Amino acid sequence: MDVNLIKQSAIFADLDEQELERIAEVCQEQKFQSAQTIFKEGDPGNRLYIIAEGEVRISRQVPGSGEEALTVLKEGSCFGEMAVFDRSDRSTDAIANKDCRLITITRSDFEMLLDFDRDLAYKVLWSVVRLLSERLRITNDNLRSFLAMSMF
């Protein structure tokens, strides 16, 4: 597994070469064709993904109006990590927007790495905090815009 692909992901960007090698040892590769479902809302959250090639659409099904795309993720993006960390079911759908190649890490392998190497865990967890804070800030901005538009 190419450690440079792993390093592109925000949650692994702060790791040194040896730490990246440890991550690479537990990675697997999966390929999806365009429009193929990677996971659906409600599925068990048992792995996280890094996009090595292609694009992935994150969306939700809205009753009465169908699929609502929340974002389209590109190469280097990580997704599916929330369910891995909080051991919950998937909160959205993930669909291959184009043919894609994904690097995946199972929850059990990820937890084993974090338990085994506290320095690696510290770096990864701080990166996750920054990533989730950034996503929350974007969500707040979107909500503010939505509320402003709905008042007219």
Label residues 110-144 b or e (16+ Cβ within 10 Å = b). Answer: beebeeebeebeebbeebbeebeeeeeeeeeeeee
Q: What is the pTM (predicted TM-score) of this model?
A: 0.86
The residue written with tokens 């959250």 in the block is 45
- The answer to whether 57 and 65 are in contact (CB under 8 A) is no
Query: By residue range, what is the domain housing residue 99?
Result: 3-150
* Total domains present in the chain: 1
The CATH number for 101's domain is 2.60.120.10
Kindly report, residue by residue over 44-91, the tens digit of the pLDDT. Answer: 999 999 999 999 999 998 888 888 888 999 999 999 988 888 888 999
Task: Tell me the DSSP string of 77-96.
Answer: -EESHHHHHHT-B-SSEEEE
Kindly report, residue by residue over 95-146, the tens digit of the pLDDT. Answer: 999 999 999 999 999 999 999 999 999 999 999 889 888 888 988 887 888 7
